[in-house]
Amino acid sequence: MLIWENIRLAISAIWINKMRSFLTMLGMIIGIFSVITIVSLGDTMRGVVAGEYENVGTGLAYVYMTTEDGYYTDNDLFSQQDAENLREAFPKELTYVGFNTGERLDVTVGRTTEKVYFNGLAKNPEAMKKLKIIYGRMLSNQDIEEKRNYVVLDKDTALSLFGKENAVGSTFSVTINREERELLVIGIYENTDSALMKMLSGGGTKTAYIPESIYVSSEGNTQWTLYFIISPEVDINQTQQRVVNLLSRIKNKPVEQIVSYSAAQEMSTIDTMLGSLSAVVGAIAAISLLVGGIGIMNIMLVSVTERTREIGIRKALGARMQDIMTQFLIEAAIISALGGLIGTLLGIGVISLAASILGVKAVVKPTVILLAVAFSAVVGLGFGMYPARKAAKKDPVEALRFE
């Protein structure tokens, strides 16, 4: 018998019992929807994390020192000189060396006071932070070397402090390290972070960039952590090791007490964590698919009993066992696959909506969709098998007499 006839039969049978079919489908819809949503949410988060690291490059790394006994002395902190030594030792290998320090400070202009997060940038600031400058200019190496009291503000901060976006040329005073400074706005940038990242970094934090040299004194060991960016042209792990070795010599400490992590390492840790988390939760959600399958089996059994006479008629008219079986199997598979399809569309819809609200790129892998729909069809076939066999085995004489 033609498959197409069976599909038409199945659709008309589903249509005749609209409400019942829909309720049965609901099990599959919810199951597939949760699997797609959860797995895609995980993938989207991984995409966001990867995107963040892409902004700075996977070459970003940091280093800090530990002690044997937990007692820290001055020598366990870094100084500007240490940073400069690194820059000189690895002029090609490291594109940036700095402390990546920051502090939230009160800024008052006229009657407006705003809390602004000040970030210090060291030499070669573009390597650390690629800002989208819309007015004025970025901090230059010269600004940093000469410890100029310059600042690059974000658009929103400028607007709230000065009442205009283009505040280049304006000044304000701020107390940095107990010393009041008059800062000159030399550039305005636009924050291009996604809503999600803004949320994670403290919700609309107002940020300003200043030369690190006016923030970190050139004298003494004051900094816990040293940041550096490894050029993409050299091997990350090897370079990281060379940096550690050099610091070990400079600070006169064993290599084991110099700890360094790169963004690549961190990213793979987070990626693995998110990956296994969404796999586990996705697997739990997949249990609901099983429940959906049982629902299908249940309703197909009812349907087979209700249509005993129809089965008898069909057999009398020449339907073979496999014809009857195919008819009911296809009906189960269509209910299941249709449920899967609706669930998939709902899942994609919800993920896309959530992503657009958070301002991130939704990641829905085609393999996940394929797997979900294939799985729902398999569930339909699997759980439809028993009722279909039951239908096919009916004795035509008995079935025709069924009331």
Partner 1 sequence: MKEVIRIEHLNKVYATGAVEVHALKDVNLTICEGEYVAIMGQSGSGKSTLMNILGCMDRKISGSYYLEGIDVAKQGENELSRIRNQKIGFVFQAFQLIPRTSAMKNVEIPMIYAGVSGEKRKKRAQQLLEKVGLGARCHHLPNELSGGQKQRVAIARALANDPAILLADEPTGNLDTAASHEIMDFFTKLNEEGATVIVVTHEEDIAAYTKRIIRFQDGCIISDTGRRETLC
Q: Where do contacts with partner 1 occur on this chain (CB under 8 A)?
A: 1-2, 5, 12, 16, 309-310, 312-321, 323, 396-397, 400
Closest CB 401 distance from partner 1, rounded Å: 9
Cβ closest to partner 1, residue 246 vs residue 400? 400
CA dihedral 270, 271, 273, 274 (to 10 degrees): 110
Q: What is the DSSP string of 222-236?
A: -BSEEEEEE-TTS-H
Cβ closest to partner 1, residue 185 vs residue 324? 324
Cβ closest to partner 1, residue 265 vs residue 308? 308
Which parts of 102-178 are beta strand (E)? 102-109, 112-121, 132-136, 150-154, 171-176
Cβ closest to partner 1, residue 15 vs residue 71? 15
Helices (H), 57-165: 80-89, 125-128, 141-145, 155-162
Contact 244, 255 (CB under 8 A): yes
Cβ closest to partner 1, residue 1 vs residue 56? 1
Closest CB 386 distance from partner 1, rounded Å: 19
From the list 304, 314, 371, the residue with the least C-alpha distance to 343 is 371
Closest CB 302 distance from partner 1, rounded Å: 16
CB atoms within 10 A of CB 402: 14
Provide the residue type at 269 as one letter. Answer: T
Cβ closest to partner 1, residue 4 vs residue 71? 4
Closest CB 398 distance from partner 1, rounded Å: 10
Closest CB 37 distance from partner 1, rounded Å: 38
Closest CB 390 distance from partner 1, rounded Å: 16
Three-state secondary-structure class, residue 59:
coil
Three-state secondary-structure class, residue 42:
helix
